[in-house]
Structure 1
């Protein structure tokens, strides 16, 4: 209701030439109305979020400004449509000079375009959920009539959802912050998967660690190199485990490992005798039974191409800080054949809690390249539900905590489980998923 009143009032203010021509009020009345209208107009253009009915208590300054951008663009869209209706009516009435109508419309257009430009700038600068492609379209075509209203309506919806999600997270944090629900008995070691690093340039785990720390968790990272054979990554992890325990004085730690990181962790626990120092291992989308697509690619692709890709990768990641990256060692350890021997050698240890989680994509459109391609390969070869890289059956190890998915075509991909693209997914809040995961470890005494 407040939005309707605000839009209607601003339309009236921006048509002051027309109303002055029709009503011809006294100068004193006109001046008072103009001053009041100008004040409200600039108040709305500067702090549009204050005119909404939304509770702003749990919004950060960025979210308030972004929500204000949504309000500016919404009022622009509805106001422009009201103006069109008004001019259609005036066209049929036909008693007003065209000079008055043109002059009035130009003033209205300038004032409302000022609101639109402000809203566009806010969304371009402040939204993290509107994708770059859409931002480019908005930046280039915001001025095109009708198209801009249609397109702005679509991306404004994305920005509003972003504000709602962040506000909801902040509200939940405020309610649970005193309970330290993620303050486990043992510190948390988060272990990354293959082809990524977790401690330099880019946080592998997205917004997840910050949320865990807010709720009391003590978070550390695996810091193993981006691509190595499981044995080598396991050695790096064992060194990191000893360093964390020495630093914290803790007896043990809990490991949360994604993808190949789960295999690296299992190797360190069993083969490198880390099991007295590890309380639990929770694997996220880990290929415990291997990835058939890895076998196929290694067999089908010409050796020259595979070797060139490996050399390029190793050279690039050396420049990024890895001392001895091994692309082929990492990929070969993900095959089904290698996992058969691995699982025979690397047995679960009774002192450690093993549990696992898997997600699944619902269609190739759940993710971009290369996951949309590997999703199709797994579906064709194994006819199994998968996350774009790992079949669900391959991801089950120890106590299985269940499949993670959402309704519709979106699904949850391999990358979504580590907040790779920092994307808010309808029906799945990745930060709360990990908060619940750590909370459960705490409740189990870990």
Structure 2
């Protein structure tokens, strides 16, 4: 077996909003876990509340990290978070940097999501359409919980309003004032590579005409959704993955912010139906090799 991805510390994968471990037989991180394990890495996808604040999710993650360290005998873990998972792992690293070797944000709304701002403005929770949207999301979350065969723990608490606020520009700005580790000092810049002994990395994608909307992605419902959602962006119009803006995703060392991948493609969802020339699994393999080379 290859050892190219055999990092010193276990890799812990943390999902975003409405996240899961495995829906019946369909994993959140499509193809990632077996590929990394073939490369020698210890990889553990975890579950936190599918809908809740980044702080609550972060506390849940810290509890899970304690369990992982006891189970593996490792001193630290490498955290990789997708979407809101990026905020979740940032919280954990800020609270317990002694337990975290690295934080990697994958399409993380590290400065908030313009899509979340749009829904807050157009679907206020006290209005009929806001209540209808919330009811629909809560139902989806309930169904996904019932179908999640990869998580066997107790049911985790749900707070949709807290989850939504945690993703808005205002909500993330408040979060960032408390947990600024790894954030760029200037818009669109790079952040500190290392803070309190923790290495910070990020990468993300953008919708690109003629690239992300080609081949099998034309049949991908999640990709079509991202194309529709991208129309809500103003500050980063034409520079988003459909849910998170290119520069809003920056954290620590920015590996790249314009992969031809939408918000779901970047973790290889929709059974790997991605745009032409894109390979999300390869990005994770390359990053594990990067972590290994850094002694992490």
- TM-score by length of structure 2 reads 0.82
Q: Summarize deviations over 1:260-302 as a string: whole Å, max 9, x none.
A: 00101111221xx221000000110101000122112211225
Asked if 1:385 is matched to 2:231, the reply is no
Counterpart for residue 190 of structure 1: 13
Counterpart for residue 88 of structure 2: 264
Counterpart for residue 113 of structure 2: 291
Counterpart for residue 205 of structure 2: 359
Aligned match for 2:51, one of 203, 227, 235: 227
Aligned match for 1:325, one of 158, 167, 171: 158
Query: Conserved in 2, the CA contact under 8 Å of 1:384 and 1:392?
Result: no
Alignment of 1:127-206 (within 5 A): 177-178=1-2, 180-201=3-24, 202-206=26-30
Gaps of 5+ in 2: 147-154, 182-194, 218-222
Report how far residue 318 of structure 1 moved.
Answer: 3.4
Corresponding pairs, count: 261
* Distance of 1:355 and 1:199 partners within structure 2: 26
Give 4+ residue runs of structure 1 displaced > 4 Å after superposition: none
Counterpart for residue 250 of structure 1: 74
SS in 2 for 1:370: helix
Report how far residue 381 of structure 1 moved.
Answer: 4.9
Asked if 1:398 is matched to 2:249, the reply is no
Asked if 1:300 is matched to 2:122, the reply is yes
Counterpart for residue 280 of structure 2: 430
* Distance of 1:431 and 1:383 partners within structure 2: 27
* Distance of 1:329 and 1:369 partners within structure 2: 27
Inter-CA distance 290–424: structure 2 relative to 1 (3 Å threshold): closer
Query: Conserved in 1, the CA contact under 8 Å of 2:265 and 2:274?
Result: no
Report how far residue 199 of structure 1 moved.
Answer: 4.4
SS in 1 for 2:167: coil
SS in 2 for 1:257: strand
Could you say which structure has the greater relative contact order, defined with CA pairs below 8 angstroms and 6 or more residues apart? 2
- TM-score by length of structure 1 reads 0.56
Query: Conserved in 1, the CA contact under 8 Å of 2:29 and 2:267?
Result: yes
In our comparison, the structure showing a higher alpha carbon Rg is 1
Query: Conserved in 2, the CA contact under 8 Å of 1:318 and 1:325?
Result: no
> Could you say what the CA RMSD is over the residues aligned between the two structures, in angstroms?
1.9
Query: Conserved in 2, the CA contact under 8 Å of 1:275 and 1:351?
Result: yes
Gaps of 5+ in 1: 1-176, 406-410
Structure having the larger proportion of residues in helix: 1
* Distance of 2:84 and 2:62 partners within structure 1: 15
Structure having the larger proportion of residues in strand: 2
Report how far residue 316 of structure 1 moved.
Answer: 4.3
* Distance of 1:217 and 1:328 partners within structure 2: 36
